[in-house]
Structure 1
Amino acid sequence: MAEQQQFYILLGNLMSPDNDIRKQSEEAYDTIPGQTKITFLLQAIRDAACVEEVKTMAAVLLRRLLSSSFEEIYPGLTVDMQTAIKTELVTSIQTEASPNIRKKVADIAAELCRNLLGWLGDIRYAACNAIGQMATDFAPTFQKKFHDKVISALLQTMEDQTNPRVQAHAAAALINFTEDCPKSLLIPYLDSLVQHLHVIMVAKLQELIQKGTKLVLEQVVTSIASVADTAEEKFVPYYDLFMPSLKHIVENAVQKELRLLRGKTIECISLIGLAVGKDKFMPDASAVMQLLLKTQTDFNDLEDDDPQISYMISAWARMCKILGKEFQQYLPVVMGPLMKTASIKPEVALLDTQDMENMSEDDGWEFVNLGDQQSFGIKTAGLEEKATACQMLVCYAKELKEGFVEYTEQVVKLMVPLLKFYFHDDILLMGAPESMPLLLECARVRGPDYLTQMWHFMCDALIKAIGTEPDSDVLSEIMHSFAKCIELMGEGCLNSEHFEELGGILKGKLEEHFKNQELRQAKRQDEDYDEGMEETLQDEDENDVYILTKVSDILHSVFSSYKEQVLPWFEQLLQLIVQLVCPSRPWADRQWGLCIFDDVVEHCSPSSFKYAELFLRAMALSLCDTSPEVRQAAAYGVGVMAQYGGENYRPFCTEALPTLLGVIHSPDAKVKENVNATENCISAVGKVMRFRPECANVNEILPHWLSWLPLNEDKEEAVHTFDFLCDLIESNNPIVLGPDNANLPKIFQIIAEGVANESVKSEDACSKRLANVIRQVQGSGGLWTQCVAMLNETQQKAIQDLLNTA
């Protein structure tokens, strides 16, 4: 550290106006070995505490070093050091706040690439690597800026049949590019991409048959899969071009050395099927399923490290998504190997230093130092496959629902213990927690006794995991899962012991939330506080707020299931929730505190009014808060007070109405960041008029309210507004219909826009009512013609869709 500080002083002295000081510094700089210079210069560039002038000098010197002394220094560096230099440069480009420094670091990276191109031999091979890396690191900006140059260059390079290594790396770069490329950018190139990929695939397939070479073909198959995955339904016209050859590869590439090619082709077929959809894929589905079944039948003969295993597991899940309920017939074949993979148990050991020396990370072991010359070791082989298998079980439960019921017992016995599986994040982030409510949904078909038994097996484990899980990302998933389970199971799913334990845990989470905020504020007063620390503190704050949202989710599920009978239990948390809505708290605290009180009003009214003095003033102030999220939560609260709150909330609804109208009429009400809050205000005004008409001058407000419809962003509130609109039309409200039904064309437009924007869906109860309104006008001849004439083509289609489905 001291040496680095001395180096910073040296860099500063190189910029000194004093000739003697500058000359002495240059002489001292020249004596530093090249590798040490690189290390110190990189550190200076990356150090957030280093002043910009010194960082600038470091960047200039490093570029000059790589330009003038590359051959003398770089080849002599270790591979780890070379990798570290590349990583540091890319990281700096991504994270550096100063545009000046970021540009200079980019210049260094360009200089390094220029030198590496010559040093590695083939300029194109290295360029493909660089393009592929940039496509991943700088997505999607890289794709948006350079799509016209990159795609054509990579396709041209892939055609060089005399240089397979360059071809393979060009195909790999194309995979990276298309994976993160916005669909709209890729579509104009789709025809050219597909034709090139097909020509290359056919040539490389012949090469495989004649010479046995497979590297380029593996990459091309994955490129095809990536393009199809991004293009989705736009890939339909090209389906028949590829599917016969791909099926041929799966059928015939049975040799051991072709396992990876076969696995990638299986992946490609399933991704294409998912992209083009069931209708297009069905004629081939049976043949593809038979190929997969044949491979699956031989599954027990495959070696544990066979790459086909993970590709097969993922492919089955995609086939399930494509076939839907029709996939159920294949479960007896699929589930055995899948459960075997999902049940893999990692090998673990407590090791001393001597033991560690006899083991290597190359053998698949990873180590965590426990101090006192001891380490915890885990053999990671198979964990990726285990995580993938758990995710596939989640997929089957989600897609098949009651069709998966035969397997729920064995899957839940696998998943519940995995709530304490700390060896692989994906198992906890995308596997075990997510599966719980899905498995309950599957089990419903067997009746309440079976469902209750399954829930009892889960419940204690979920609550304990919420209380003990240290990782905030995993914790949030477990809390979300628990909330979903409560909603699904409903009243009676928690006993008194559960409530007691859960109450203590939630209280602890809220207290920890406030304590962490105080600690962060204290750190901001520390003498070491800088931009880097602030970035860390903001990340911590975001994690804490996300946990707060999950506390809100759990309370929402409890209130919606138990209603007012849960209020005595809630009172242990009440003062902490009141603390959240204090005007001095950060906006996120106020938002989620208000959301919790919204739930109290919505699900516990009129009993909720006994707490009104604790939150009504905060609700009123929040209606015109500077934060749109807070305004939205407050406006929603006014709506539920009108709808559910009862007589006691009437004065507040009357008082809040002018503020709601003021927010709606504000000049920036419809800008992107404000639109959700504004739509909640519009919905709240509608609920006041509908459920508390004595609080509003309905005749005066109605024409304005009609002009604000439809709501396009908040779909849930949009349904409320359409329900009220149906009430008004069905009661022949003269203000809404207008003289001689003059407002009907406008009403048609509102309905059409709502359907086109999916603010109204066929499953919504109001869709049938809206369709009946349309049908009544249909029989009126001239009025129907007049209404339809006011609609554009999209709106006319939406009206027809509504009539066909509702």
Structure 2
Amino acid sequence: MAAAAQEQHQFYLLLGNLLNPDNAVRKQAEETYENIPGQSKVTFLLQAVRNAAAAEEVRQMAAVLLRRLLSASFEEVYPTLSPDVQTAIKSELLLIIQMETQSSMRKKICDIVAELARNLIDEDGNNQWPEGLKFLFDSVSSQTVGLHFAPGFQKKFHEKVIAALLQAMEDQGNQRVQAHAAAALINFTEDCPKSLLIPYLDNLVKHLHSTMVIKLQELIQKGTKLVLEQVVTSIASVADTAEEKFVPYYDLFIPSLKHIVENAVQKELRLLRGKTIECISLIGLAVGKEKFMQDASDVMQLLLKTQTDFSELEDDDPQISYMISAWARMCKILGKEFQQYLPVVMGPLMKTASIKPEVALLDTQDMENMSDDDAWEFVNLGDQQSFGIKTAGLEEKATACQMLVCYAKELKEGFVDYTEQVVKLMVPLLKFYFHDDILLSMPLLLECARVRGPEYLTQMWHFMCDALIKAIGTEPDSDVLSEIMHSFAKCIEVMGDGCLNNEHFEELGGILKAKLEEHFKNQELRQVKRQDEDYDEQVEESLQDEDDSDVYILTKVSDILHSVFSSYKGKVLPWFEQLLPLIVNLICPHRPWPDRQWGLCIFDDVVEHCSPSSFKYAEYFLRPMLQSICDNSAEVRQAAAYGVGVMAQFGGDSYRPFCTEALPLLVRVIQSADAKTKENVNATENCISAVGKIMKFKPDSVNVEEVLPHWLSWLPLHEDKEEAVHTFNYLCDLIESNNPIVLGPNNTNLPRIFNIIAEGEIHEAIKHEDPCTKRLANVLRQVQTSGGLWTECISQLSADQQAAVQELLRIA
């Protein structure tokens, strides 16, 4: 006995060492852990998880490792355990969950049970641990335990799971089981693909409806509400997944749901009422405006009534967050017609969005004393200090900010009266970032404010601009930083020329230079780590993650430069010269392909927006760009081909010889055997488009008559919509000018042209509102007037292609 206890004690020390910040200690512990046989590992880990007296982090670590063992090495470990041990593990886990008091630990143990349950369902769907799955279904409604279906779970077991859940929901004698089953159904349908759900929709809806009717009666007679709350959310979840397929069932549910909202006014029914409001708005969004309009005005009146009583609602009333989300859905459904309700809606929304979170700067000792408090989260600032933020209320604040973004996006100029107060609320939050929506809102709010005229817009932008640039310079988290950079770039696109003053440019130039220098430095550091004796697969994985996040920042540097070039054109080049050596460094042949891709994209922008002056930098980028047309990386090929296209279109005479030189390289890519595979198609389409642009804009640099028949044979483009428009417009130019090569002798090429146009329409290569659509329809109409030729062209198309031609004639 003593020996076993000693072994277990050693194992606890080992788990502690796996968390040790000292690399050498941790590495030693990892090696020791790896060498423990699978069976002993399971036993030790299970004992550690079970031991409530063990240190919290040791138990958490044991739970994580046990789950990992069952997911990664199940086949090697579990079958080698004796049947008695297997049975003991199963019953032990279920027992531990029921005894566990700490919620995050409970969730971890539930994850172990879910992992084991998933592995114990065989290929044919036979469940070798029914108690485990039953337990998960049963515990799903408790706040602390979520039933998370593993990826692919729905695909494999949808029939069995749906049948089991519906059966449990019918268990009228057991309220708790019914509620658990309804809650499990919510989790199941939320992640279930629409196509899997549709075959069961009829059956699901029938069960949900009959259960709802019974539970509504029970609420009226006995006041029981738990199951009804879950059923209402299940209905919402099913509608949300089924979308337009829910239309036939709409009239079945809406009257009862409206009845609940109207009558469930007692304090203890607030949650039910909130969930019902959410359900109605989700159904409305699923079935669409046309179907929902019959009830929209009733529903709006019900919501308005609640809203006008809002001042009487207590701050913690659960209806508030449901109301806020429901309004945003109503806005999506009603569109511009929603504007009339803003005066009622905005008060509570701004109140919630303005919640001031509590923050604190603590030393490590104080933080450890507080870290058991679930309501606080901490960020380590180094130097024994931590930044703490009280998370209570933040969820609601984040939702409210999301809704403000939704209104700005849907209502555009209709939201203008509120832009100022929203900006004043959002901008200070940049210093204290907690949600993407703040950043999403910036360019949208500028769009809304535009109707008030340039002065109002400029004032608003100045209020944002300084804060955004500061945030780009100081934000340490790379995910957050990339969002801020993206938002800033979008704002510059909205504001255009003149939106940055000299100080802004100076500060921005310094920041972008620092970001690029840091990019190169980080790459070097990663190379050094790859030479280190500790280097292994795990290290490589984390280096790859770092690399990905660095490249993501590089894409955002490119976004900002793109927006500056497209707004300011050539006059920004003197400012750009401070970055030039760094961008040239990106496109050196020995650099990783993402560097070369984004470096070329930046030079593409220089050529597109700053020509003819761009040619003075030709010595830096022209050779690398031409060499990159046939690069091994599809992304690099695409950036280079796009560059040749803009060179032809915007580049002026100096670029003519380079267009001639590029042509055979572009053709080589287009004609390669795997040109149209998924990973290559975008690069190939950019090459085809570039050939078209050379013929259109620099016709004297190539033999157009010789190239045209080849180019026609490569059409249409499906994937790259922007380039597709260029090629179709050029095709229309050629047809409208009766080009003999394109039309062929006696118009013999017309059936082929019809085919190209029909395929373009089938693949939605051109947006219907684009003027090019009308040009294509006119080409078809011209042929329509000469009966025989029309019949000949149409008869050579497939049924789908004929339908596409008719559609094009109908809309344009």
TM-score when scaled to structure 1? 0.88
Q: Tell me if structure 2 keeps the 8 A contact 1:250–1:266.
A: yes
Once residues 142 and 408 of structure 2 are traced to their aligned partners in structure 1, the CA distance between those partners, rounded to angstroms, is 40
SS at match of 2:389: strand
Q: Distance in 2 between matches of 1:370 and 1:58?
A: 43
**Residue 335 in structure 1 maps to residue 335 in structure 2:** no
Establish whether residue 138 from structure 1 lines up as the match of residue 150 from structure 2.
yes
2:712 equivalent to 1:712: no
Q: Distance in 2 between matches of 1:522 and 1:444?
A: 51
Are 1:271 and 2:282 counterparts? Answer: yes
> What residue is the counterpart of 1:18 in the other structure?
none
Q: Does 1:195 align with 2:206?
A: yes
How far apart, in 1, do the equivalents of 2:533 and 2:121 lie?
33
User: Cα deviation per residue 1:391-450 (whole Å; 9 max; x = unaligned)?
Assistant: 11111111111111111111111111111124x3xx2x1x21111111111111111111
Q: Deviations over 1:141-168 (max 9, x none)?
A: 2222222332233222222222222222
Q: Does 1:781 align with 2:787?
A: yes
> Which has the higher mean CA deviation after the structures are superposed, 717-726 or 773-782?
773-782
Q: 1:572 to 1:237 in 2, by over 3 A?
A: same
- 1:747 to partner: Cα distance: 1.6
Q: What pairs up with 1:622-771 in 2 under 5 angstroms?
A: 622-771=628-777
Amino acid at match of 2:418: Y
Q: Does 1:87 pair with 2:108?
A: yes
Q: What residue number does 1:401 align with?
A: 412
1:125 maps to which residue?
138
The amino acid that maps onto 2:775 is R
Residue 784 of structure 1: how far off its partner (Å): 2.0
Deviation at 1:80, TM superposition (A): 6.5
Which of 276, 284, 295 pairs up with 1:284?
295
Measured in 2, the distance between the counterparts of 1:671 and 1:33 equals: 49
The answer as to 2:369 corresponding to 1:348 is: no
- Aligned ranges for residues 219-618 of structure 1 at < 5 Å? 219-350=230-361, 364-366=375-377, 376-422=387-433, 424=434, 427=435, 429=436, 431-618=437-624
CA distance in 2, matches of 1:234, 1:594: 46
Percent identity of the aligned residues? 74
- Aligned pair in 2 of structure 1 residues 537, 453: CA closer, same or farther (>3 Å)? same
CA RMSD in angstroms comes to: 3.6
Contact 1:45–1:55 (Cα < 8 Å) also in 2: no
Give the 3 Å change call, closer, same or farther, for CA 81–58 of structure 1 in structure 2: farther
Please tell me whether residue 218 in structure 1 is matched to residue 229 in structure 2: yes
Whole-angstrom distance in 2 between the partners of 1:466 and 1:123: 45
In the alignment, the residues of structure 1 paired with residue 677 and residue 190 of structure 2 have an alpha-carbon distance, to the nearest angstrom, of: 32
Question: Deviations along 1:362-416, whole A, 9 cap, x unmatched?
Answer: 6834456778997654332211111111111111111111111111111111111
Distance 1:266 1:93, change over 3 A: closer
Inter-partner Cα distance in structure 2 for 1:584 and 1:93: 47
Residue-by-residue CA offset, 1:263-314 (whole Å, 9 max, x unaligned): 1111111111111111111111100100110111111111111111111111
Give the Cα separation in 2 of the matches to 1:374 and 1:662: 59
Residue 772 of structure 1 and its aligned partner are, at CA, apart by 1.4
SS across alignment from 2:575: helix
Cα gap change, 1:217 to 1:31, in 2 (>3 Å): closer
1:653-689 CA deviation, whole Å, 9 max, x = no partner?
A: 1111111111111111111111111111111111111
The aligned counterpart of 2:3 is none
Retained in 1: the 8 A contact 2:120–2:127? no
Q: Which secondary structure state, in structure 1, belongs to the residue aligned with residue 532 of structure 2? A: coil
Change in CA separation of 1:147 and 1:707 when aligned onto 2, cut-off 3 Å: farther
Tell me, yes or no, if the aligned pair for 1:296 and 1:333 is still in contact at 8 Å: yes
The answer on whether the counterparts of 2:588 and 2:624 sit within 8 Å (CA) in structure 1 is: yes
- Over 3 Å counting, the alpha-carbon distance change for 1:525 and 1:87 in structure 2 is farther
Q: Any conservation in 1 of the 2:587–2:600 contact (CA below 8 Å)?
A: yes
Q: What is the one-letter code of the residue matched to 2:593?
A: W
Aligned partner of 1:207 in structure 2 is: 218
Q: State how far apart, in whole Å, the 2-side matches of 1:378 and 1:13 are.
A: 41
Q: Is the 8 A contact 2:78 2:86 kept in 1?
A: no
Q: TM-score, normalised by structure 2?
A: 0.87
Deviation at 1:531, TM superposition (A): 2.1
Matches of 2:561 and 2:173, distance apart in 1: 65
Kindly provide the amino acid, as one letter, of the partner of residue 688 in structure 2.
I
| Aligned partner (choices 790, 797, 804) of residue 791 of structure 1 | 797
Sort the Cα spacing of 1:290 and 1:797 in 2 relative to 1 into closer, same or farther, 3 A: farther
Q: Are the aligned partners of 1:249 and 1:265 in contact in 2 as well (CA < 8 Å)? A: yes
Q: How does 1:49-64 map to 2 (within 5 A)?
A: 60=80
Q: Which runs of 5+ in 2 are unaligned?
A: 1-10, 16-27, 52-58
CA distance in 2, matches of 1:54, 1:191: 38
CA distance in 1, matches of 2:499, 2:623: 35
In the TM superposition, residue 739 of structure 1 has moved relative to its aligned partner by: 2.0
Change (3 A) 1:687 1:93: farther
- Distance across 1 between alignment mates of 2:370 and 2:176: 34
Superposition deviation, residue 32 in structure 1: 11
Displacement after TM superposition at 1:70 (Å): 6.2
Q: Give the C-alpha shift of residue 802 in structure 1.
A: 2.6
Given that residues 349 and 400 in structure 2 are in contact (C-alpha distance below 8 angstroms), is that contact kept between their aligned partners in structure 1?
yes
Partner in structure 1 of residue 48 of structure 2: 35
Distance 1:696 1:153, change over 3 A: farther
User: Contact 1:639/1:684 (CA < 8 Å) preserved in 2?
Assistant: yes
Structure 1 gaps, min length 5: 16-24, 95-102
Shift of 1:528: 2.1
Deviation at 1:752? 2.1
- SS of alignment partner, residue 673 of structure 1: coil
CA drift of 1:29 comes to: 12
Contact 1:270 1:318 in 2 (8 A): yes
Letter paired with 2:469: I
CA distance in 2, matches of 1:404, 1:534: 49
Q: CA deviation at 1:527?
A: 2.1
- Does residue 626 of structure 2 align to residue 620 of structure 1? yes
Q: What is the distance in 1 between the residues matched to 2:742 and 2:607? A: 30
Counterparts in 2 of 1:296 and 1:550: CA distance versus 1, 3 Å: same
Counterparts in 2 of 1:353 and 1:726: CA distance versus 1, 3 Å: closer
| Distance in 2 separating the partners of 1:435 and 1:123 | 40
Q: Distance in 2 between matches of 1:30 and 1:324?
A: 59
- Offset of 1:58 from its aligned partner? 9.3
Please report how far the alpha carbon of residue 109 of structure 1 lies from its aligned counterpart in structure 2 after TM superposition: 13
After TM superposition, give the deviation of residue 81 of structure 1 in Å. Answer: 8.5
Give the whole-Å Cα distance in 2 for the aligned partners of 1:208 and 1:574. 71
Give the deviation of 1:756 after TM superposition: 2.7
Deviation at 1:533, TM superposition (A): 2.1
1:158-217 per-position Cα deviation (integer Å, ceiling 9, x unaligned): 222222222222222221121122222222222222222112211211121122111111
Measure how far apart 1:223 and its partner are: 1.3
Equivalent residues of 2:285, 2:332 under 8 A apart: yes
Deviates more, 1:620-629 or 1:558-567: 620-629
Match of 2:5 in 1: none
> Which amino acid in 2 is paired with 1:593?
G
> 1:45–1:58: 8 Å Cα contact kept in structure 2?
no
Taking the aligned partners of 2:547 and 2:110, their CA distance within structure 1 comes to: 28
